[in-house]
């Protein structure tokens, strides 16, 4: 579904953020992308979405990410931003949800049906006509996910989906992520959440892949994690 | 509570009022907007001495307040801005215009006093009218109505987006202001040494925010076109409402209702 | 200096709407030609920022009071005149719609008084010529100097023009008995002070931006190979224009020569006016001290002669019926309110 082939990127010359990155994510996989601050996690996402252009080849569902294919690629990828306020720019949740489908020429009826289906599935019907600036942080995050689901993307990228959420809302978000059947790529420092939601983990360090494998294995490796400025997930500490 | 928090609360209150349901809320936003404009225009067109002609104009907003179920007093808070301004200008009238135009019993009233009161009532009435519009119409339907009335799309979209971020920015500044005053007790405002950086910091951050916001739009297929919520079609009921309102305003404008009413009781 | 609906006659309000609408139309077509899709989110976020920024209290050194910013110059320096103008329109619209700050009908006038001058006059006649000139020489500190000069001059001049428009619009609407010259003499000096403060705040913010991200400011970094289009001469021309505006105001002030009573009035009411115009909103309110003082003077000077009880009531003519009728209307209004309240209670109690 998503493939990086020898991808490098630098904001400034001589200071590469990503160095010769190669990996492949299969359809339906849930992958956690972890790493310390500045390891290049969000750069990976931005490259995939075509917000940044680097060296090397990136394939999304067989299509290479290039200027000409941006529309096609972006339609397949749904990106949930860390700051929901920046994602939800319309006055109401409903208007934000119809924004993408209507842009992609989905009919009005079908869009409305999608919106209702997504809201029902996430048990968020009560949010439909609420104003984005009048709902709580947790509701906003859930609504942001709903916005992306209404796009019906083939893969969903999430940037810190559980940051600044209380335990209850964090659990709700985790449950939503677990129930999705799309390909998922999630960056986070919340390793417990990664453990709960992802089968595979890619550990980035200084622009390179330091480890790539089953989540249970990598997240249990105290030595590896601490070497790359991270800690064991709390749920694994006792064992 | 600082000024920004007060503003946020005021915005929230308007939102809550507009989210209610009533026959007035159900009307087409374009009909409400046009009726409001007509009302204010007619109100402003009264002569500065035509106090008795102006007074019956109060009936329309009062009636709407009652039908929409919104308390009249809920708009009085907003008078704090309009009234002092109008007073500042109107207060001069009694000094410069002392010709007696009216005697009630043994009380003589000068033209200046009449024109001052007229001015204040005009301020009060037009405030009530626009308050009613916003208290019964959510911003998104108002924007849809503006589109229908051919206001350029760029302006309407900008209004919508700005309204959305007014809340976000005001909240950020409210937090910053609070943080500032916690570290600078006893200071009433922002000290001159922080004049630039206080807003400047937020401004730089806002530019990054705008960048991210734009990415979010792009990633969802934005190509310079915004989709609005469809407003209900303009039905005959809405046309009837608008027609009746305009007729009533013209009637009140050209028929001296108060004069006639009074004439029935006083010879 | 938000105008209220009540201060305008319909014809004046409509004229100002047409004028502002034309300027908006030009701005929109210019922006469409630029085809910069990213501009819209930047405009929205900046406008929201300025909206919130207007509520900041800036302590004015050496005084107990605080100043505020209106933001026209700031917006045009950051976004350019056209985008700045549209952003300002949206700010004023939100203020009038949600906060009753300026009215729905006065919006056209307010856009003209605050946005048009700040963005178009401020940008084309002051900001751009000064920033593109070689004034103060080359280099970073020269640029700083130009920013300071352009911001302060821009704010002072545009606020003077705005205040003058307020006077003009109010007088043309014929709602005040205050003579044009006296009103003018009252408004201009106050807005000289307000403009200076606004200029200083704008300067501070723009200098901060210049330090960290100079590329955000219009016309600050000249394009490679582009020679400065304006010279010192044009700056002198601008200064002359400013001098004319200020000087004209002063001479008018002198020629109107109001008598002692009027001067006393202006002294008191001027204070209240400064507050209402945004110098200090903390003391805002119907019962502000200045309003009380003015009312007190009014009682002494005008109440006694004009409200004197006259001996005969035979003069009470047709207008008495007007008074009685108005009272009846007021009664009806109260009845409507009571009826509404009654039905609401009934419906509420009817619900389980």
Q: What is the pLDDT of residue C309?
A: 34
Between residues C322 and C263, the one the model is more confident about: C322
Q: Kindly report the nearest CA distance between residue A151 and chain B, in angstroms.
A: 8
Share of chain A above pLDDT 90, in %: 72
In this prediction, residues B8-26 reach a mean pLDDT of: 90
Separation of alpha carbons C274 and C278, rounded Å: 7
Residue-by-residue DSSP string for B212-246: HHHHHHHHTT-SS--PPPPPPP--HHHHHHHHHHH
Instruction: Tabulate helix, strand, coil % of chain C (nearest 5).
Output: 75, 0, 25
Range in A54-58, B94-98, C222-226 with the lowest mean pLDDT: C222-226
Residue-by-residue DSSP string for A107-133: -HHHHHHHHHHHHHHTT-GGGTTSBGG
Q: What is the pLDDT of residue C271?
A: 41
Q: What is the pLDDT of residue B73?
A: 83
Q: Which of C47, C177, C321 sits opposite B262 (nearest CB)?
A: C321
Q: Kindly report the nearest CA distance between residue C76 and chain B, in angstroms.
A: 14
Residue B121 in this model has a pLDDT that exceeds 70: yes
Residue C51 in this model has a pLDDT that exceeds 90: yes
Kindly give the pairing relationship between strand A155-159 and strand A183-187: parallel
Residue-by-residue DSSP string for A155-210: EEEEESTTTT--HHHHHHHHHHHHH--SEEEEE-S-HHHHHHH-SEEEEEETTEEE
Write the burial class of residue C81 (CB in 10 Å: 0-12 exposed, 13-18 middle, 19+ buried). Answer: buried
In this prediction, residues C213-235 reach a mean pLDDT of: 63
Q: What is the pLDDT of residue B94?
A: 81
Mean confidence (pLDDT) of chain A: 91
Separation of alpha carbons C77 and C130, rounded Å: 12
Q: Give B-chain residues touching C99 at CB under 8 angstroms.
A: 7, 10, 78, 81
Q: Give A-chain residues touching B229 at CB under 8 angstroms.
A: 92, 94-95
Query: Is A156 at the interface with chain B, CB within 8 A?
Result: no
Q: What is the pLDDT of residue C15?
A: 93
CB-based contact A91 B222, cutoff 8 Å: no
In this prediction, residues C113-137 reach a mean pLDDT of: 89
CB-based contact C177 B115, cutoff 8 Å: yes
Residue C301 in this model has a pLDDT that exceeds 50: no
Place of tokens 């490098």: A8
Number of inter-chain CB pairs under 8 A, B vs C: 400
Handedness of CA B133, B137, B140, B143 (dihedral sign): negative
Residue A179 in this model has a pLDDT that exceeds 80: yes
Please give, one letter per residue, the 3-state secondary structure of C261-318: HHHHHHHHHHHHHHHHCCCCCCCCCCCCHHHHHHHHHHHHHHHHHHCCECCCCCCCCC
Dmax of chain C from CA atoms?
Answer: 86
Separation of alpha carbons C254 and C249, rounded Å: 9
CB-based contact A83 B12, cutoff 8 Å: no
CB-based contact A134 B168, cutoff 8 Å: no
Separation of alpha carbons B83 and B96, rounded Å: 20
Q: What is the pLDDT of residue C236?
A: 63
Share of chain A above pLDDT 70, in %: 99
Do A8 and A2 meet the contact criterion of CB atoms below 8 Å apart?
A: no
Range in A209-223, B241-255, C216-230 with the lowest mean pLDDT: C216-230
Q: What is the pLDDT of residue A142?
A: 93
Place of tokens 């009233």: B109
Q: What is the pLDDT of residue C263?
A: 37
Q: Which of C45, C101, C322 sits opposite B165 (nearest CB)?
A: C45
Query: Is B231 at the interface with chain A, CB within 8 A?
Result: no
Separation of alpha carbons A93 and A126, rounded Å: 10
Q: Which of C44, C302, C320 sits opposite B158 (nearest CB)?
A: C44
CB-based contact B227 A98, cutoff 8 Å: yes
In this prediction, residues C32-60 reach a mean pLDDT of: 89
- Each residue's pLDDT tens digit, B158-206: 999 999 999 899 999 999 888 888 888 777 788 888 888 889 989 998 8
Structure tokens belonging to residue B93: 């009238």
B167: number of Cβ within 10 Å: 21
Q: Which of C48, C105, C273 sits opposite B168 (nearest CB)?
A: C48
Residue C81 in this model has a pLDDT that exceeds 90: yes
Task: Supply the DSSP symbol for A131.
Answer: B
Between residues C155 and C345, the one the model is more confident about: C155
In this prediction, residues B147-154 reach a mean pLDDT of: 90
Q: What is the pLDDT of residue C265?
A: 38
Closest CA to A77 of A47, A106, A107: A47
Q: Give A-chain residues touching B12 at CB under 8 angstroms.
A: 134
CB-based contact B103 C309, cutoff 8 Å: no
Share of chain B above pLDDT 90, in %: 37
To which H or E segment does residue B155 belong? helix B153-183
Mean confidence (pLDDT) of chain B: 87
B-contacting chains (≥3 CB pairs under 8 Å): A, C
Q: Kindly report the nearest CA distance between residue C189 and chain B, in angstroms.
A: 16
Q: Give B-chain residues touching C5 at CB under 8 angstroms.
A: 40, 43-44, 122-123, 126-127, 130
In this prediction, residues A14-26 reach a mean pLDDT of: 91
Separation of alpha carbons C229 and A213, rounded Å: 62
Do B41 and C89 meet the contact criterion of CB atoms below 8 Å apart?
A: no
Q: Give B-chain residues touching C67 at CB under 8 angstroms.
A: 189
Domain with C71, as residue range(s), is 5-221+230-349
In this prediction, residues B26-33 reach a mean pLDDT of: 94
In this prediction, residues B202-212 reach a mean pLDDT of: 89
Closest CA to A147 of A97, A80, A91: A97
Mean confidence (pLDDT) of chain C: 76
Residue A47 in this model has a pLDDT that exceeds 70: yes
Do C48 and B168 meet the contact criterion of CB atoms below 8 Å apart?
A: yes
Between residues C239 and B200, the one the model is more confident about: B200
Residue C299 in this model has a pLDDT that exceeds 60: no
Beta strands per DSSP E along chain C: 58-59, 66-67
Q: What is the pLDDT of residue A205?
A: 92
Q: Which of B15, B156, B219 to mutate to test the interface with A (most CBs of A within 10 A)?
A: B219
Q: What is the pLDDT of residue B135?
A: 93
CATH number of domain containing C303: 1.10.1760.20
Between residues A175 and B228, the one the model is more confident about: A175
Query: Is B159 at the interface with chain A, CB within 8 A?
Result: no
Do B203 and C75 meet the contact criterion of CB atoms below 8 Å apart?
A: no
Q: What is the pLDDT of residue C240?
A: 65
Q: Which of A86, A132, A133 sits opposite B212 (nearest CB)?
A: A86
Q: Which of A51, A79, A92 sits opposite B140 (nearest CB)?
A: A92
Query: What is the model's pTM?
Result: 0.83
Closest chain C residue to B105 measured between Cα atoms?
C313
C174: number of Cβ within 10 Å: 12
Q: What is the pLDDT of residue C315?
A: 36
Q: Which of C45, C69, C177 sits opposite B112 (nearest CB)?
A: C177
Structure tokens belonging to residue A201: 């983990």
Kindly give the pairing relationship between strand A77-80 and strand A155-159: parallel
Torsion of CA A103, A105, A109, A114, to 10 degrees: -60
Separation of alpha carbons A165 and B187, rounded Å: 35
In this prediction, residues C265-280 reach a mean pLDDT of: 41
Residue C27 in this model has a pLDDT that exceeds 90: yes
Query: Is B172 at the interface with chain A, CB within 8 A?
Result: no
Separation of alpha carbons A187 and A191, rounded Å: 10
Q: Which of C7, C101, C265 sits opposite B81 (nearest CB)?
A: C101
A-contacting chains (≥3 CB pairs under 8 Å): B
Write the burial class of residue B190 (CB in 10 Å: 0-12 exposed, 13-18 middle, 19+ buried). Answer: buried
Q: Kindly report the nearest CA distance between residue B235 and chain C, in angstroms.
A: 25
Place of tokens 């350029």: B152
Q: Give A-chain residues touching B221 at CB under 8 angstroms.
A: 71, 74-75, 100, 103-104
Structure tokens belonging to residue B118: 């007229």
Q: What is the pLDDT of residue A239?
A: 54
Q: Kindly report the nearest CA distance between residue A73 and chain B, in angstroms.
A: 9
B193: number of Cβ within 10 Å: 10
CB-based contact A81 B139, cutoff 8 Å: no
Separation of alpha carbons A198 and A161, rounded Å: 13
**CA end-to-end distance (rounded Å), chain B:** 56
- Each residue's pLDDT tens digit, C159-186: 999 999 999 998 888 888 888 888 888 8
Query: Is A100 at the interface with chain B, CB within 8 A?
Result: yes
Q: What is the pLDDT of residue C216?
A: 87
CB-based contact B216 A79, cutoff 8 Å: yes
Buried b (16+ CB within 10 A) or exposed e, C330-347: bebbeebbeebeeeeeee
Q: Give B-chain residues touching C288 at CB under 8 angstroms.
A: 84
Task: Supply the DSSP symbol for A214.
Answer: E
Separation of alpha carbons B95 and C7, rounded Å: 18
In this prediction, residues A44-50 reach a mean pLDDT of: 92
Dmax of chain A from CA atoms?
Answer: 54
Range in A67-81, A173-187, C130-144, C193-207 with the lowest mean pLDDT: C130-144
Do A53 and A8 meet the contact criterion of CB atoms below 8 Å apart?
A: no
How far is Cα of residue B165 from the mean position of the Cα atoms in its chain?
20
Q: What is the pLDDT of residue C246?
A: 58
Closest chain A residue to B215 measured between Cα atoms?
A51
SS3 C75: helix
Range in A224-233, C6-15, C228-237 with the lowest mean pLDDT: C228-237
Residue C34 in this model has a pLDDT that exceeds 70: yes
Instruction: Tabulate helix, strand, coil % of chain B (nearest 5).
Output: 75, 5, 20
- Each residue's pLDDT tens digit, C194-214: 899 999 999 999 999 998 888
Q: What is the pLDDT of residue C259?
A: 35
In this prediction, residues A117-126 reach a mean pLDDT of: 93
Closest chain B residue to C201 measured between Cα atoms?
B195
Place of tokens 């705008």: B210
Q: Which of A43, A86, A104, A145 to mutate to test the interface with B (most CBs of B within 10 A)?
A: A86
Q: Give C-chain residues touching B130 at CB under 8 angstroms.
A: 5, 96-97, 100, 103-104
- Given pLDDT bands bounded at 50, 70 and 90, which one contains residue B148? confident
Query: Is B167 at the interface with chain A, CB within 8 A?
Result: yes
CB-based contact C286 B84, cutoff 8 Å: yes
Dmax of chain B from CA atoms?
Answer: 76
CB-based contact B173 C56, cutoff 8 Å: yes
Count the domains in chain C.
1
Closest chain B residue to C52 measured between Cα atoms?
B170
Between residues C320 and A171, the one the model is more confident about: A171
């Amino acid at each position: 579904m998503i493939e990086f082939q020898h991808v490098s990127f630098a904001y400034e010359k001589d200071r590469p953020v990503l160095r010769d990155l190669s990996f492949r994510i299969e359809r339906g996989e849930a992958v956690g992308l972890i790493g310390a601050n500045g390891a290049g996690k969000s750069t990976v996402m931005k490259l995939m979405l075509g917000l940044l252009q680097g060296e090397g080849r990136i394939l999304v569902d067989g299509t290479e990410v290039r200027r000409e294919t941006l529309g096609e690629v972006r339609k397949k990828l749904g990106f949930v931003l860390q700051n929901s306020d920046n994602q939800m720019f319309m006055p109401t949740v409903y208007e934000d949800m119809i924004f993408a489908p209507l842009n992609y020429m989905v009919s009005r009826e079908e869009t409305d049906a999608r919106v209702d289906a997504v809201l029902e599935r996430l048990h968020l019907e009560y949010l439909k006509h609420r104003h984005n600036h009048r709902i709580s942080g947790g509701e906003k995050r859930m609504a942001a996910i709903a916005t992306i689901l209404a796009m019906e993307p083939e893969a969903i990228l999430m940037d810190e989906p559980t940051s600044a959420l209380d335990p209850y809302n964090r659990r709700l978000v985790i449950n939503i992520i677990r129930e999705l059947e799309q390909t998922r790529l999630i960056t986070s420092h919340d390793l417990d959440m990664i453990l709960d939601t992802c089968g595979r983990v890619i550990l980035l360090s200084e622009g390179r892949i330091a480890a790539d494998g089953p989540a249970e294995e990598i997240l249990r490796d105290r030595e590896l994690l601490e070497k790359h400025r991270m800690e064991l997930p709390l749920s694994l500490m006792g064992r | 509570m600082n000024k920004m928090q007060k503003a946020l609360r005021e915005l929230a209150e308007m939102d809550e009022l507009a989210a209610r349901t009533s026959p007035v809320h159900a009307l087409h936003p374009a009909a409400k907007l046009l009726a409001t404009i007509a009302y204010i225009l007619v109100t402003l067109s009264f002569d500065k001495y035509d106090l008795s002609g102006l007074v019956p104009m109060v009936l329309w907003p009062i009636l709407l307040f009652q039908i929409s179920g919104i308390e009249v007093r809920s708009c009085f808070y907003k008078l704090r801005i309009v009234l002092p301004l109008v007073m500042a200008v109107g207060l001069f009238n009694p000094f410069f215009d002392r010709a007696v135009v009216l005697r009630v019993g043994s009380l003589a009233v000068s033209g200046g006093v009449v024109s001052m009161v007229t001015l204040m009532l005009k301020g009060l009435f037009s405030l009530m009218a626009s308050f009613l519009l916003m208290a019964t119409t959510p911003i998104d339907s108002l924007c849809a109505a503006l589109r229908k009335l051919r206001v350029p799309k760029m302006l309407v979209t900008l209004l919508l987006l700005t309204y959305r971020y007014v809340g976000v920015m005001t909240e950020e500044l409210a937090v910053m202001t609070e943080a500032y005053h916690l570290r600078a007790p006893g200071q009433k405002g922002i000290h001159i040494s922080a004049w630039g950086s206080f807003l400047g910091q937020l401004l730089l951050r806002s530019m990054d925010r705008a960048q991210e916001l734009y990415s979010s739009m792009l990633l969802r297929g934005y190509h310079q076109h915004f989709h609005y919520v469809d407003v209900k079609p303009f039905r005959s009921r809405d046309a009837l409402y608008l027609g009746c309102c305009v007729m009533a305003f013209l009637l009140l404008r050209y028929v001296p209702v108060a004069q006639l009413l009074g004439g029935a009781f006083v010879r | 200096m938000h105008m209220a609906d009540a201060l305008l006659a319909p014809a004046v309000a409509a004229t100002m709407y047409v004028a502002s609408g034309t300027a908006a139309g030009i701005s929109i077509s210019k922006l469409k030609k630029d085809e910069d899709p990213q501009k819209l989110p930047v405009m929205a976020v900046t406008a929201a920022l300025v909206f919130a920024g207007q509520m900041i209290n800036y302590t004015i050194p050496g005084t107990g009071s605080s100043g505020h910013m209106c933001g026209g110059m700031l917006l045009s320096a950051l976004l350019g005149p056209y985008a700045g103008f549209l952003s300002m329109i949206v700010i004023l619209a939100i203020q009038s719609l949600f906060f009753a700050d300026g009215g729905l009908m006065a919006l056209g006038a307010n856009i003209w008084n605050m946005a048009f001058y700040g963005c178009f006059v401020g940008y084309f006649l002051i900001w751009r010529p000064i920033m593109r000139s070689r004034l103060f020489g080359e280099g970073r500190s020269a640029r700083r100097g130009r920013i300071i000069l352009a911001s302060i001059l821009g704010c002072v001049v545009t606020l003077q023009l705005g205040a003058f428009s307020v006077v003009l619009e109010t007088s043309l609407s014929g709602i005040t008995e205050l003579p044009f010259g006296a009103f003018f003499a009252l408004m201009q000096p106050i807005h000289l002070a307000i403009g200076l403060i606004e200029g200083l705040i704008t300067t501070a913010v723009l200098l901060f931006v210049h330090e960290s991200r100079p590329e955000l400011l219009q016309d600050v970094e000249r394009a490679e190979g582009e020679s400065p289009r304006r010279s010192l001469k044009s700056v002198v021309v601008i200064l002359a224009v400013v001098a004319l505006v200020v000087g004209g105001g002063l001479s008018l002030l002198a020629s109107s020569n109001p008598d002692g009573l009027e001067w006393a009035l202006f002294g008191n009411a001027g204070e209240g006016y400064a507050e209402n115009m945004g110098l200090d909103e903390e003391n805002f309110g119907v019962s502000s001290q200045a309003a009380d003082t003015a009312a007190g003077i009014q009682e002494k000077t005008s109440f006694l002669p004009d409200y004197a009880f006259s001996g005969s009531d035979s003069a009470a003519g047709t207008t008495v019926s007007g008074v009685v009728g108005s009272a009846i209307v007021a009664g009806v209004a109260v009845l409507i309110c009571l009826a509404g309240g009654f039905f609401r209670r009934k419906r509420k109690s009817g619900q389980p």
